[in-house]
């Protein structure tokens, strides 16, 4: 690694894995400017490690959101057996009294 690497990379420079992780949140939120998004997407094409990291990050975010999102009856019906839905709804009714 030469000591005289310029601190500011040119805009068309490929993204490093470290920069990739810095941009993940903005990318997931759709807030990445088009130029940076292009570089980000390009990095995913060449770096399997970051693709896996992104997948794990997304799962973690999804789990976090699921944990805080209100559970709707519709969501329950799509994911669990009917008996369990009824049991949960019955428990909720009991909890309200
Ligand atoms: Zn990478």
Q: What is the pLDDT of residues 54-68, one digit of tens each?
A: 999 988 888 887 777
The percent of residues in the chain predicted with pLDDT above 70, rounded, is 74
Cα of 46 vs centre of ligand 1, distance in Å, is: 8
The pLDDT assigned to 73 comes to: 66
Residues 6+ apart with CB under 8 A from 63: none
Number of structural domains found in the chain: 1
Residue 5 lies in a domain: no
Give the structural domain span for 79: 17-96
User: For residue 65, how far is its CA from the centre of ligand 1 (angstroms)?
Assistant: 26
In a domain? residue 2: no
Confidence band for 9, pLDDT divided at 50, 70 and 90: very low
Per-residue pLDDT averaged across 15-44, rounded?
92
Q: Is the pTM for the entire model greater than 0.75?
A: no
Residue 12: inside a domain: no
Question: Does 9 map to a domain?
Answer: no
Q: How far does the centroid of ligand 1 lie from the alpha carbon of residue 11, in Å?
A: 17
- Asked if the structure places residue 3 within a domain, the reply is no
Query: For residue 65, is it within any domain?
Result: yes
Cα 52 to averaged position of ligand 1 atoms, centre (Å): 9
């Amino acid at each position: 690694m030469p000591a005289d690497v310029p601190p500011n990379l040119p805009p068309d420079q490929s993204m490093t894995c470290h920069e990739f992780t810095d941009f993940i949140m903005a990318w997931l939120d759709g807030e990445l400017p088009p130029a940076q998004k292009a570089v980000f997407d390009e990095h995913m094409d060449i770096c399997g490690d970051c693709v896996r990291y992104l997948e794990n990050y997304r799962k973690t975010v999804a789990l976090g959101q699921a944990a805080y999102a209100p559970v709707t009856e519709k969501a329950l019906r799509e994911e669990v057996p009917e008996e369990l839905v009824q049991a949960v709804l019955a428990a909720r009714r009991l909890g309200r009294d």
